Structure 1
Amino acid sequence: MKNYSHYQPDDFVQDPYFRKWALGQLPADDTFWTTWRATHPEQYDTLEQAKSLVVALRIESAPTDPAEVETAIAQILSGIETPVFKPPFFQNRWVQFAAMLVVVAGIGYGFWWNGFPSGRPKTLSNRVDSEQQREEFNSTPSPKTIRLSDGSEVILEPASRLLIKTGFGNVKREVQLTGEAFFQVTKNPEKPFLVYTGNVVTKVLGTSFRIKAYDADANVSVAVRTGKVTVFKQTAGQATRPTLSDEIILTPNQQAVFVKADDRLVKTLVEKPVMLSKPADNQPLEFSETPIPTVFSSLEKSYGVKMIFDPDLLKDCNLTGTLTNGSFYEKLTLVCETIQARYEVVDGQVVIYGRGCK
């Protein structure tokens, strides 16, 4: 297999396999280039330059040697008439002219593309990259709301990019994210919503969640606000097809973090759990000589976070006070200090360790 890691735009343009992908001529199940681009973010701009050239000029595959193509193009540009073997493909004046157009267009595109500090025009926030997908890029300092054809909404944070497959919602609902975004997905059990972020695939039916995946070196996190989300780790499998790890199921206030240094998914709680529902009977979290197991159950229902403890051990412990103010962790710390216990977050759940009260 070729090593595309150090390819330049002209190298990609001359590659028949790449050209077929750029022109949408590969089978639907051939995801090599989509996967390769996701796993090589440092080559994103180079790939897009070559792809835009192929699409714009409609460069079709031809039975020629790349070395011969380079030689012929060099002759056209330099005007050197040194005799050189020209295959039938390059004996046609129109083909020679087309080859010259490729080079000139490539040079012009390079100046146009690289002439901006960010590597792309600052005004280019919504553009069609190819026949297979469109791009939404937030170049503003504020979050940008994107409404998808299925009714779902994506709040795209600054300097973030969302790639949306053409035909989104017809058969599949698939997008690719670089950066940070909050998703509010319209429920559709027959068409799961898939978000690709580097090595992580997030699958939902209808829910709200946030994903952070800014660059190749940073960890990827998926935090759930409502509903249920399934997260997989994507790894290189046989040939060019990626494989998925065992799923991690997330519920509200849980998150999965893909730790790149360890190449693993970790399930934990979000940094700031939010209250999902009011306490039972719409009463505030006020307690008077209330058994601690009841206090923990109230917190569990309010935040949707599973609390694991020994009810028999803590049945003689009581709490008098109000837990209206403060964060989830502050409330948890206050309760544990009152009964001389401690807590630990394990696999997206809270485990309480205590000696009981006698």
Structure 2
Amino acid sequence: MKNYESYRVEDFIDDKDFEEWVRGRSSRETFWRSFLQHYPEKREAFHQAEQFIRAATVAPERISEAEIRKEVERFIVATGSSVPNQSPFLSGFRSETSLRLPYGFRWAAGIAALLLAVVGLGWYSIHTNSTPLITRKADGPNHSPDGSANQFVETFNHTKQLLRVVLSDSSEVLLSPKSRLRYPSQFVGNVRKVYLAGQGSFSVKRRKQPFMVYSGETVTKVLGTRFVVSAFDLDKKITVQVLSGKVSVYKANPERTSYNKEVNGLILNANQAAIFEKSDGNLTKTLVANPALVRKSDKEITFVYDDVALSAILRELETSYGIPIQFDEQSFEGCKITAALSSESLYEKLDLLCKAASATYEIIDGQIVLSRKSYR
């Protein structure tokens, strides 16, 4: 059995099962997800190793071995550590014969040294077919798209499964296949920004700094919530679906002046969705395909009714799903329902209620509007 209590960064990196889990291919998903609950003192080493493995999938700039060693030494000196002329760590990275270590550890040491150099000194650059989000200056750090100095990392999901990405603020992203996420190695400043191409399911930790997802021509802004963004390059639409909490969605370059603060955007609550049409730039609000219960209750919600007023049933559905339901109470006065609606989806419940009450419903601006049938 492995002695996880003694694990260091290089041990995690050298652990094949841990590496497979980071890349989304491990059969021990539950074990690694709960690892820090059993070994909380390993949190720093755990997350450092996770970031190293993710960053190692991105091709770095071509830097000579001598430059890498020089920059690693300069970085360590800058942090106050002593660097002997013949550092065993650096020697092991430079030559496989100068320090006799297992192959996996030498690989881990090499990755660690490379990342120390490129992260600490801004020598890490991401190259893709599209315009890069960071640029490399001759003698300066990498800069994010808004001009602030920071180091960006890119993760691309080459697998056929969801890939879990943990950000520096402990927010998590489940990245869908063929999707790409660009994000800073550390969030700094007054805002947390990431850039998505494809689809990602976000669980954002609540912080004072807003969390912003740039996807194509839209921006999704939150403080802390769960939502899904789908923005594949070849799709005609960009969609944002809110699972819990509240988000705002607007165009990436809103037209406004110092005199006009209005932005053409939408506020979405749980079970609501935004659709951005790329062809005409139209942004509309609707509901998710399968609304889920959002009301927390100590007892199970049964949705079983015996001669109950329709208005009371609709109010309970509104509260349980967090979706506004608009209707004219006077039109349905005296309408009572006897039904058991436990296992049906929200839309199936509405279909049954409308059938019993001779009514119809529509989804308008992220709300449900119920009305009596017209028999003209």
Shift of 1:46: 5.7
CA contact (8 A) 1:134 1:164 kept: yes
- Partner of residue 155, structure 1: 174
Task: Select which of 304, 312, 334 maps to 1:316.
Answer: 334
CA contact (8 A) 2:168 2:186 kept: no
- 1:53-111 deviation per Cα after TM superposition (whole angstroms, max 9, x unaligned): x67xx599xxxxxxxxxxxxxxxxxxxxxxxxxxxxxxxxxxxxxxxxxxxxxxxxxxx
Name structure 2 gaps, 5 residues minimum: 1-126, 141-148
- 1:199-232 deviation per Cα after TM superposition (whole angstroms, max 9, x unaligned): 1000000111000001154210111011110111
Specify the SS of the correspondent of 1:305. coil
- 1:148-204 deviation per Cα after TM superposition (whole angstroms, max 9, x unaligned): 11111111111100001344244421000000011000001x200000001100000
CA contact (8 A) 1:234 1:245 kept: no
Counting matched residue pairs gives: 236
CA contact (8 A) 1:235 1:244 kept: no
- Partner of residue 158, structure 2: 139
In the alignment, structure 1 residue 336 sits paired with structure 2 residue 336: no
Map 1:65-76 → 2, pairs under 5 A: none
Distance change (3 Å), C-alpha of 1:199 and 1:336: same
Larger mean Cα displacement after TM superposition, 342-351 or 274-283: 274-283
Task: Select which of 326, 346, 355 maps to 2:364.
Answer: 346
- Partner of residue 125, structure 1: none
Structure-2 separation of matches of 1:180 and 1:233: 18
Distance change (3 Å), C-alpha of 1:192 and 1:272: same
Shift of 1:276: 1.6
CA contact (8 A) 2:315 2:325 kept: yes
In the alignment, structure 1 residue 174 sits paired with structure 2 residue 193: yes
Structure-1 separation of matches of 2:311 and 2:299: 18
Shift of 1:315: 1.9
- 1:244-277 deviation per Cα after TM superposition (whole angstroms, max 9, x unaligned): 8323110000011101122111000001111123
Shift of 1:279: 7.0
Shift of 1:311: 1.1
Specify the SS of the correspondent of 1:314. coil
In the alignment, structure 1 residue 184 sits paired with structure 2 residue 268: no
Shift of 1:143: 0.3
Shift of 1:280: 9.0
Specify the SS of the correspondent of 2:317. helix
Map 1:182-221 → 2, pairs under 5 A: 182-188=201-207, 190-215=208-233, 217-221=235-239
In the alignment, structure 1 residue 223 sits paired with structure 2 residue 241: yes
TM-score, normalised relative to structure 1: 0.60
Task: Select which of 22, 45, 50 maps to 2:129.
Answer: 45
Map 1:279-290 → 2, pairs under 5 A: 282-290=300-308
Sequence identity percentage:
36
Structure-2 separation of matches of 1:236 and 1:288: 51
CA contact (8 A) 1:279 1:302 kept: no
Structure-2 separation of matches of 1:51 and 1:172: 17
Superposition CA RMSD, Å: 2.9
Distance change (3 Å), C-alpha of 1:132 and 1:161: same
Map 1:254-333 → 2, pairs under 5 A: 254-277=272-295, 282-333=300-351
Q: Aligned partner of 1:45: which letter?
A: N
